[in-house]
Structure 1
Amino acid sequence: MLMNNETDVLICGAGPTGLTLALVLAQRGVSFRIIEKMEAPFHGSRGKGLQPRTLEIFEDLGILETIMATGAPYPPQREYQDDGSWRDSPTSEQRLPTPSEPYLTPWMVPQFLTEAAMRTRLGELGHQVEFGCELIGLEPQEQGVNARITGKCGEQVLRARYAVAADGGRSFVRNLLQIDFPGNTLGVRAVVADVSLQGLSRDVWHRFSGGSQERQIALCPLAGTDLFQLQAALAGDEEPDLSAEGLTSMVLERTGRADIPVVAVHWASAFQMHARLAQRYRVGRVSLAGDAAHVHPPTGGQGLNTSVQDAYNLAWKLAAVLAGADETLLDTYEEERRPIAESMLGLSTRLLEEAKRGEMRRGREVQQLDLGYPGSSLALETSVREHGPRAGDRAPDAPVATLPGTPLRLFDLFRGTHWTLIGFHVPLLHSLEAKGMQVHLFGPGGNLVDCDGHFHDAYGLQRGEWMLVRPDGYIGAIVASDHLESLKDYLQRVGVSLRGVDLVAPRKSGFD
């Protein structure tokens, strides 16, 4: 048994949640270990839909190009009638990108390919997942946690300053910490499988309604592969035969067609649908994220996306606390993310009821662009705003340019580990250098130009206002120039070093 094995963060679970945590921590130079009890990477498609907000996150993490090259837009859905006729319709609301919202179409990538892209990027940053390493004990302490792990890694006692449970809906860590997981079993069982089959085109998502929920079956071509994802509800205590022969029989029974043989099954799962939410997200130095904190029906493509965004929220806060920010910053993780999960459970459950009736349509509400934290204690505003986003909202994109005319996007400026402070026609300050923060100015003495007014359209800032954007792309603060002391206090709270920074504006100096 190895002793005195130490790290800053132990991540338990290497699905999309754990991998997002690892990528954010790796970008920030935080030491961590990411362990996964499975012997090899997950090879199924369980979460195949990436929502627009997640695509923005993946752009920040440096994997968007790979994700876009791997996947494809969702195909139209073809609903077959009993008489053999069909009707085609869009799977989701079709909208063109805008300057403020560059991604408005969900992108299909099977989960195993998404995770592969994340692991590749993690390797480029000098880290890797430890497969075949299982957590078997966890002892929270005042200044950290002692974890016992075993498997390919041998048996070890690992000392970590913080631990994150990204170990799924049956979370060992959540159960160990005796965190309640209230909710409902929804009385719906289903099968999902990745299969090779014949007889269907790959240009549409084939849906056979069959009248009742128990006769519905859907066969969706999986982007980036030659596979189809089979989805079907199960009746009562039905135990499906998940072999190629068994699934071929299911397809025949529910479609009435003998020309759609399942040739091979690459992955399959039968599962019960639940809607549950952890009573709390943190006990001392251990936090829950992803399915360990919430489970729900798969309708609407919310699960993987919500989990990625949990990790994206938590990871920068862990890094900030490890770098010296007050530990109370971690309280804002549950404060911000638990209400999002609660709302998502309601949305997924409502969409499930619509799916039972064959009426489900995915609109803007599933894209997660409108989710934010306006009620968070990290949302600071010192003036009344009538237009534009509020503190706590997602920070929109916009085309801008440098003074010499080089085109940029705001997302280019936000990308990375830093905070971004933007002044709009503001008094020039004595000094605006701070570790962990970049500063950009529009107006006299500034370094940016608002191209065709897109920045002002997106944000509606008034002259003399400052906007602070968090490392996760949400607006932290909007303050007027005569309230800069409140901004200074805010930055100190979140761990931005202000050594040598003067946030006092000289009166009537450089104000346009």
Structure 2
Amino acid sequence: MSDTADVIVIGAGPAGLATATLLAGKGVHVALVDPYRLAVAHPRATHVDDETVRIMQTLGAAHLEPEFLCHTDGGYQIYDAHHQLVRYMPWRPEPTDQGWYGDYQFFQPDFENLLRGRLHASPYFASLLGWRAVSVTQTSSGVDVAVRNERTGAERTLTARFVVGCDGARSTLRGLVSPEVEDLHGTHRSLILDIAPFTTSPAVPENDAFTKAIPPNPVTCLPIAHDMVRFEFLLNPRDATEDFEVPSRWYELLAPYYAPGDYRIARADVYRWESLLATRWRDGNVFLAGDAAHQMPPHLGQGMGSGLRDAINLSWKLAAVLDGADETLLDTYQTEREPHVRVYVHAAVGAANGIEFMSENPGELGEPPEALEAQMPVPQLGSGVHGDTEWPVGALSIQPRLLGGDRLDDVVGYAFAVVGNPTLLAGVDVATAATWQRVGATVVGETPLPLRRWLNEHRAHAVIIRPDRYVFGLAASAAELDALTARLADAVGTVDHQPAGVG
């Protein structure tokens, strides 16, 4: 096994596995370092939305979707301390413009093991699972990573052009890249109990998830994949963590929902949720992604999805720079991703703090509150490769099925896409078509009805979509598409690069 790679990824959680998979699919030599040889056997994340499943599709994991628990009715309900509904977020009952349903519960170990196996089969991948990164040192030519085998004690030093730290909420790499973090003031502790019931319970809805701000420990209950149920009990500021690590307490807390002996406990952990943003996501050739870069409470189910968005944003940029694009392209990673994830962190903090406030300040039972219906935020990227964000530029593109029945991303691959009216596409300059070839863009000269409606809404006939599926720009004429393509060449370079399929 070589001690040299193009990119070293530290951490084999979802963000790290996705980054390694996307890079290997681009023909980038990647080494993955993680102290654990096996994926964690129980789920940590459970919820994925339509955009996250679209990223899974790019990763070659779409065939897992039929095994997910798909929410097509019901929703997420939040109740106050008096059992009154105050907030309701309905599940989305039809596939969205992303080509998938809006809300699922998935089984994280299946997803992680799929990516581990796919990476093992890639000629561009080097596995250092079971090895711990003990030091990271930047040099004039790249980064040296000293690693130690957890079983044998053997030591090696790996060298790469870039390192991506995906080493989770307790990241050691974050201390090197961003010693200072921004605290968004949403720190909480929760007892997480995942159970496999042997029977049904009238107290546990089949399709709905709920949070009840009942003192002294608000409870969240939601169905998750593999016919399991997750309970999260919010500890109040006076609670001692060790009191919630005792099995007798678990049975006591679950008693309103299931009788002892009517379920198998699969997981029992007290977890401390932070709400943090690293102030720097890049230091030279070292980057942060996933929970190493941002953390949030679990109430919107956007933590893991945000890590996958980091991976799909950063990986194509690293591949482009390794192919000769200017390194300033990498500066757009944080400028684009941080404003996007900040929206989710703020929303999750607001939900978590609101639940704690209702529990700590129940007041008297008064008039029934007006239940507010809420929608999941859909933020745009910050300024970056696409320039300044102005809707729909910097927003997530749609994914229609093309005339042959394939989803758009399956035809495009992990690459730029130029999609639009075939007459307009045929009318561009020779230099424009040459640029598309040099940046590895896939050209799709058809406009199925959903795409035609979307283009009409924005008074355009063509769109350039980035590899991370966000809109680079739109054009209403061949001349505008020529100008847009010239901007693309300036932003990402015009080196020869042929996209490779992933999965």
Normalising by structure 2, we get a TM-score of: 0.82
Q: Quick check: 1:111 aligned with 2:115?
A: no
The change in CA–CA distance for 1:5 and 1:79 in structure 2 (over 3 A counts) is closer
Q: Quick check: 1:227 aligned with 2:228?
A: yes
SS of 2:181's equivalent in the other structure is: coil
Runs of 4+ aligned residues of structure 1 deviating over 6 Å after TM superposition are 77-82, 358-362, 461-464
Cα distance in 2, alignment partners of residues 77 and 408 from structure 1: 30
SS of 2:275's equivalent in the other structure is: strand
Q: Quick check: 1:364 aligned with 2:375?
A: yes
SS of 1:215's equivalent in the other structure is: coil
Counterpart of 1:335?
335
Opposite residue 240 of structure 2, the aligned amino acid is: E
Q: CA deviation at 1:469?
A: 1.3
The change in CA–CA distance for 1:93 and 1:290 in structure 2 (over 3 A counts) is same
Q: CA deviation at 1:331?
A: 0.4
Q: CA deviation at 1:265?
A: 3.3
Cα distance in 2, alignment partners of residues 454 and 11 from structure 1: 38
Counterpart of 2:135?
137
Opposite residue 225 of structure 2, the aligned amino acid is: A
Q: CA deviation at 1:129?
A: 4.8
The change in CA–CA distance for 1:222 and 1:260 in structure 2 (over 3 A counts) is farther
Q: CA deviation at 1:115?
A: 1.8
Query: Where does structure 1 lack aligned partners over 5 or more consecutive residues?
Result: 442-447, 500-512
Aligned identity (percent) is 23
Which 10-residue stretch deviates more, 287-296 or 241-250? Answer: 241-250
Once the two structures are superposed, the pairs formed by residues 371-390 of structure 1 within 5 Å of their partners are 371-373=379-381, 375-379=383-387, 390=392
How many residues get paired? 467
Cα distance in 1, alignment partners of residues 305 and 320 from structure 2: 23
Counterpart of 2:353?
353
Q: What do the CA deviations read for 1:219-268 (whole angstroms, capped 9, x no partner)?
A: 434312x433221111323223435433112323xx3x772447543322
Counterpart of 1:102?
99
Q: What do the CA deviations read for 1:174-193 (whole angstroms, capped 9, x no partner)?
A: 11345311205535321112
Q: Is the 8 A contact 2:191 2:233 kept in 1?
A: yes
C-alpha RMSD of the superposition? 3.5
Once the two structures are superposed, the pairs formed by residues 175-186 of structure 1 within 5 Å of their partners are 175-186=175-186
1:93 to 91, 94, 97: 91
Once the two structures are superposed, the pairs formed by residues 235-314 of structure 1 within 5 Å of their partners are 235=236, 236-239=238-241, 240-242=243-245, 244-252=247-255, 255=256, 259-261=259-261, 264-314=264-314
Counterpart of 1:47?
45
The change in CA–CA distance for 1:247 and 1:318 in structure 2 (over 3 A counts) is same
Counterpart of 1:444?
none
Normalising by structure 1, we get a TM-score of: 0.80
SS of 1:301's equivalent in the other structure is: coil
Cα distance in 2, alignment partners of residues 259 and 139 from structure 1: 54
The change in CA–CA distance for 1:90 and 1:129 in structure 2 (over 3 A counts) is farther
Q: Is the 8 A contact 2:74 2:91 kept in 1?
A: no
Cα distance in 1, alignment partners of residues 374 and 62 from structure 2: 23
Which 10-residue stretch deviates more, 457-466 or 235-244? Answer: 457-466
Opposite residue 458 of structure 1, the aligned amino acid is: W
Q: Is the 8 A contact 1:244 1:265 kept in 2?
A: no
Q: Is the 8 A contact 1:47 1:301 kept in 2?
A: yes
Cα distance in 2, alignment partners of residues 374 and 273 from structure 1: 26
Counterpart of 2:366?
none
Q: CA deviation at 1:6?
A: 0.7
Q: Is the 8 A contact 1:400 1:455 kept in 2?
A: no
Which 10-residue stretch deviates more, 186-195 or 6-15? Answer: 186-195
The change in CA–CA distance for 1:190 and 1:491 in structure 2 (over 3 A counts) is same
Q: Is the 8 A contact 1:147 1:158 kept in 2?
A: yes
Which 10-residue stretch deviates more, 458-467 or 144-153? Answer: 458-467
Q: What do the CA deviations read for 1:152-189 (whole angstroms, capped 9, x no partner)?
A: 48311111110001001121111134531120553532
Specify the structure having the higher radius of gyration (Cα): 1
Query: Where does structure 2 lack aligned partners over 5 or more consecutive residues?
Result: 360-368, 498-503
Q: CA deviation at 1:430?
A: 5.7
Cα distance in 1, alignment partners of residues 89 and 122 from structure 2: 36
Once the two structures are superposed, the pairs formed by residues 166-177 of structure 1 within 5 Å of their partners are 166-177=166-177
Opposite residue 71 of structure 2, the aligned amino acid is: P
Q: Quick check: 1:34 aligned with 2:69?
A: no
Higher relative contact order (CA 8 A, sep 6+): 2
Q: What do the CA deviations read for 1:74-126 (whole angstroms, capped 9, x no partner)?
A: 885798999xx999x9863334225x342242110132233223324334545
Opposite residue 99 of structure 2, the aligned amino acid is: P
